[in-house]
Structure 1
Amino acid sequence: MGEDGEVCVLIPTLDEAETIGDVIAGLHEAGLENVLVVDGHSTDDTVEIAANAGARVITQSGSGKGQAVREAIEQVEAEFVLMLDGDGTYVPSQADRLLEPLRAGEADHVVGNRFADMESGAMTRLNKVGNRLFNRVFRGVHGEDHGDILSGYRAFTRDSFERMHLSATGFGIETEMAVECVKRGLEVSVVPITYRARPAGSDPNLNPIADGGRILLTLYSLAKTTNPLFYFGSVGGLIFGAGLLFGGYVGVEYFTQNVSHEIIAVLATLAILLGGQLILFGFLADMLASLHRERLRRLDEIADRLEELEE
């Protein structure tokens, strides 16, 4: 599957003693020897099992998957990075599906689509609904379809990762990476993968309600740089609509009951003005964001040409 050192496999872990050994063994069988485990202060035998299985293990200085990934990348020198969870839900032998588009130069970032082949019981009904909702929101807000933005099985070039500006500390890291791919104009490929049910004795680290809320908030907050018209326009539209609603109420009351609501009328007027200004600001910000993306694209082209000349 490629020369040793070409690919570094990155596995963030937290209490994965039941599964991490089999995951690393599967990667070795697939020809991937360079395995880096970044552990989030596990309280079980995850670190010892991973080290005995032949992986290089580091303990992250902070907490959260996002922080672990960013810290681990600093230890990577390989051209390509394959990232997967250590909970046994992903199939190590399918790694080549994700790496092939990178090796062929067809993509900078590859996402494994879990919904292409999901085993029964691999995901609860609530998680399925939430994942599909997040993907639809991503398509609507950011204008691209990455298939499964929350997938933990993905591959990317180290260069493309270094071009991203990531700040998420927890499970929002996948969402933030998807948004940064859109923002930076990176080529993304989506490949089908198998998603398996967690083995017995392996407990999930994700809280579907709390983490789902954080992911949805991340999707919305990051829209201010990729789709500012939606970010400001949605808030402005709600305020503008509320102003019209209350303004209509004041008008009806005045013309039918001859009752004036001066305070409500003033508030309605202010809401209409504020909402309209936010919508207008969204249009202007969207134009600036488009110009900024074009400037980033040109700078990346110049940087690539300079690298070619240096070679």
Structure 2
Amino acid sequence: MPEKIENPTIAVLLPCYNEEVTIGKVVRDFRAALPTADIYVYDNNSSDKTAEIAAAEGAIVRREPRQGKGNVIRAMFEEIDADVYVMSDGDDTYPADAAPAMVEKVLEGYDMVIGDRLSSTYFQENKRPFHNFGNKLVRGSINHLFGSNVRDIMTGYRAFSFTYVKTYPVLSRGFEVETEMTIHTLDKNVRWYEMPIQYRDRPEGSVSKLNTVGDGIKVMSTIFRLIREYKPLPFFTILGGIIGIIGLGFGISVCIDFWNSGVVLRFPTLIGSVLLVMVGLLLIIAGIILDVMAKKDRKQYLVDKNMFAYMHRH
């Protein structure tokens, strides 16, 4: 583990969209938990008084015109410099008093600390059963693929090191960004730590911006895309193998007919089976090539991360 930073600078990041009911309390809570931190509220085209209330509570308010949580986080990571970053939501569902312990873990050398809701009160507090099902589905699929044991894949309460923030490419535009972040962490084998936190449901008057079906589809499509990018060899090998086996099955049926009759009775089926086998083989070859490129990308990430760590120390 690296040497601890003396008097670290801390930035609290709060992406917000129409959170006037809760944002004042959230800013006050984080101010009490981390008195030396700079608290940033990024207003994402709110139509209420979110920005005004946050500014009145002493937060640094900035605006991000590109709609979507992923766009806000991209702007935050690009514009803000600090030794430790704490990211939360403006809806008062995450406890600010857990932030000092998360900051301490980053200072010990972890690149990302995950605030784990699912091991504590999430399933009791969250009143949306499809959200609970979605969390379990995403967690199971990602842990199985990467051989990991992350308990909360989609939490919005996290802490980061400087090098993680400056080397993580935020590609997602919306709420699927947390899933992307977790997969990136597992793929690049960075140091991460998971800490149980007490989750509470939104207070009365605060409305969730999540769309269970729409955002659920986005999350699953993001997982599909990231598996294709980060794990191309198993992805394309399985896909190519399935297509190749189907083609082989059609080819065998044509061969059986030829064995019994002495003539090829189904030329279109024979041609189709050969094409399917060829497509299967091409997909497997593509998977091998893309896997080499993915390993090269991991190497380049380590070089970039080491460079930013050196720049940050000096």
Q: Under TM normalisation by the shorter chain, which class is it?
A: 0.7 to 0.9
Report the alpha carbon displacement of residue 264 of structure 1 after superposing the two structures with TM: 2.5
Q: Select the residue among 151, 155, 167 that pairs with 1:147.
A: 151
| 2:294 equivalent to 1:289 | yes
Match 1:175 to one of 167, 173, 179: 179
Unaligned runs of 5+ in 2: none
| 1:147-176 deviation line (CA, Å, top 9, x unaligned) | 212110001012211111222111121122
Measure the CA separation in 1 of the matches of 2:149 and 2:168: 19
Q: For 1:192-203, what aligned pairs fall within 5 Å after superposition?
A: 192-203=196-207
User: Deviation at 1:112?
Assistant: 1.0
1:110 corresponds to? 113
Tell me which amino acid in the other structure corresponds to 1:209. Answer: V
TM-score normalised by structure 1 residue count: 0.88
The corresponding residue for 2:238 is 234
Please tell me whether the aligned partners of residues 221 and 231 of structure 1 are also in contact (alpha carbons under 8 angstroms). Answer: no
Report the TM-score, using the length of structure 2 for normalisation. Answer: 0.87
Tell whether 2:22 aligns with 1:19.
yes
| 1:199 counterpart SS class | coil
Shift of 1:31: 2.7
Secondary structure of 1:222's aligned partner: helix
Measured in 2, the distance between the counterparts of 1:146 and 1:241 equals 35
User: Cα offset for 1:139?
Assistant: 2.0
Question: 1:206–1:3: structure 2 CA closer, same or farther, 3 Å change rule?
Answer: farther
Partner in structure 1 of residue 217 of structure 2: 213
- Aligned equivalents of 1:133, 1:224: Cα separation in 2: 18
Would you say the 8 A contact 2:119–2:151 is kept in 1? no
**What is the letter of the counterpart of residue 295 of structure 2?**
S
Contact kept? 1:220, 1:231, Cα under 8 Å: no
**How many Å separate the matches in 1 of 2:67 and 2:188?**
27
Q: How much has 1:38 moved relative to structure 2?
A: 0.5
The residue number in structure 1 matching 2:276 is 271
What is the distance in 1 between the residues matched to 2:308 and 2:71? Answer: 29
Q: Which residue type is aligned with residue 54 of structure 1?
A: G
Q: Secondary structure at the match of 1:195?
A: coil
Residue 65 of structure 2 is aligned with which of 47, 61, 64? Answer: 61
- Unaligned segments of structure 1, at least 5 residues: none
2:56 to 46, 52, 72: 52
CA distance in 2, matches of 1:147, 1:157: 21
Structural RMSD (CA): 2.7
List per-residue Cα deviations over 1:170-189 (Å, max 9, x = no partner). Answer: 11211222232234332111
